[in-house]
Amino acid sequence: MDSPAVPAPRDARERAILDRLVIIRDQLLLLKQDRTTYIRSQDIIPLYDQTIEQVKELTTTRAESRSHEENRLDKVLESCFQLLSLFYLTIGRNNEAPATYALTSTIKRLLDHLSEADLYSAKDLESVKSTLAKLAKSISQARDEEGSAAQHSPYLLALLSKRVERCQVTLANLQKRLERIGEPLLMMHEKMISILRQISMANTKAKFSTSEVQKLRKQLVEIGEQRKDGKFTAEDGTEPPGGAEICDLYNRCLKWSDLVLERKGDVADQWRPTYDALVGIRNDLEKLSLTQAWSLRETDLYDFQRQLDKIDESRENGNFNDDRGRPADLWTQRTMLYLIRRSYAYIYSFMLASEPVSEALLPVYNQLQTLKRCLIEVKNNGGVSSVRELYPYSMKVNPFPNASFVVISDVIQLNSLDNMRVDGKFVINGDVPEGQGSVCELLAECFDLNYDLRVAAEEGSNGV
């Protein structure tokens, strides 16, 4: 987007569109950086509409010129769609077409890396296959539903369809490559891939642990000891399809473990800045994975994506080259690629876990989720012996510390949460945020669980 290597548009009309898109992108970036208030639908929808207007004009312009080469306009437009997509997740409109753009970008990166490395298992593809099927269905419904074309540009729906189709083609090729391996060897293949990744994870820890890698290497050796005459065979002694591939994978894993033990996490000086940047991204995303429901705003992922994309796209013919054009050694190449792939995987998981609830309602939603889990745990462990024991479960931490609620010891009873609703809806600062149905349903489930436990406790007391 901001690289001088990407030329500016030659067409005067495209340059005018570019100027307007830059303004839209900058407004989106300012909204992303503002943490003083919640993002609202009315903040985002007008910017989405403005972007679509520019897309319509661009489509007309390029149809008339009949010639096009990618320029800075395409990069800025991509940034606008990426930001808008993450904003749609932030405001709880996860099931609408624009929300899928960022997810397809990340899926494409993950699939391209799996194709490049050729080190993956069937389990790696299951989630992506399911996600792509849901995205394809969502886009198809958006196209077929009456009035949706007016709400979501046909250009955007066509663009999303193509992105999903490209990902599905790559996925199909990856699945076909796995078919080389016969059923008896699939579990062994998956186990070795798992060990390989654990070694790579240990390889990038702040403090290298030789013993940890040695234990993982021992697991590999134990798998290798199952070979007969140097081959992995089935129970009947025959070599299943893919036996040669499994032997090759075993040798690759063993060599990688030896290389990791030899290097002990030592990074050459010329690669230290890139390595440190990647470790920092991975660590930040790992921390977010522990507190995602409480601290992540989906638009935060944009900065991580941009940093990763920039590093990933700096490779030449798949290799990291230094300032003098010399490729990095094998350990450095694999280590940095592992960090990139791991970070993209975190981003993918965050997008999948995003709830269709506006960030304005997330504090209530998350705390009700916690309460529901507590109530289910109590119920599964025999319930309570008296109604008095239910009092703590009828209360929640104040989800809106700045709101004017009656707070006793920083808690609010479930009834107070229910009383927050106006005409059955949660109203925050005069707005009715997205996700009302999800929050109300969760609140009702908590009341039902609480009621069931209360009835069981009263019946138990009467029985005594």
Rounded CA-CA distance 211/410 in Å is 47
| Segment 11-32 mean pLDDT | 95
| Segment 6-17 mean pLDDT | 90
| Segment 332-354 mean pLDDT | 96
pLDDT at 44 over 90: yes
pLDDT at site 294? 67
Q: Tell me phi and psi for residue 408, to 5 degrees.
A: -120, 120
Q: How confident is the model at residue 401 (pLDDT cuts 50, 70, 90)?
A: very low
Domain extent listing, the chain:
1-93, 183-266, 277-353, 362-463
pLDDT at 421 over 90: no
- Taking only the tens place, the pLDDT of each residue in 248-268 is 999 999 999 999 999 999 999
Q: What angle do CA 83, 84, 86 make, to 5 degrees?
A: 65
**Mean pLDDT for all residues in the chain:** 86
| Segment 438-463 mean pLDDT | 81
Cα–chain-centroid distance for residue 393?
Answer: 32
* Of 251, 260, 258, residue with least CA distance to 331: 260
Burial class (CB in 10 A: 0-12, 13-18, 19+), 426: buried
pLDDT at site 336? 97
Please give the C-alpha separations between residue 345 and each of 117, 178, 301, 337, in angstroms, as whole numbers. 15, 20, 12, 12
- Taking only the tens place, the pLDDT of each residue in 313-324 is 999 999 999 988
Provide the percentage of residues in the chain whose pLDDT is more than 90. 53
- How many other C-beta atoms can be found within 10 angstroms of the C-beta atom of residue 7? 11
pLDDT at site 48? 95
- Taking only the tens place, the pLDDT of each residue in 47-56 is 999 999 999 9
Strands 421-422 and 411-413: unpaired
Supply the Cα-derived Rg of the chain in whole angstroms: 27
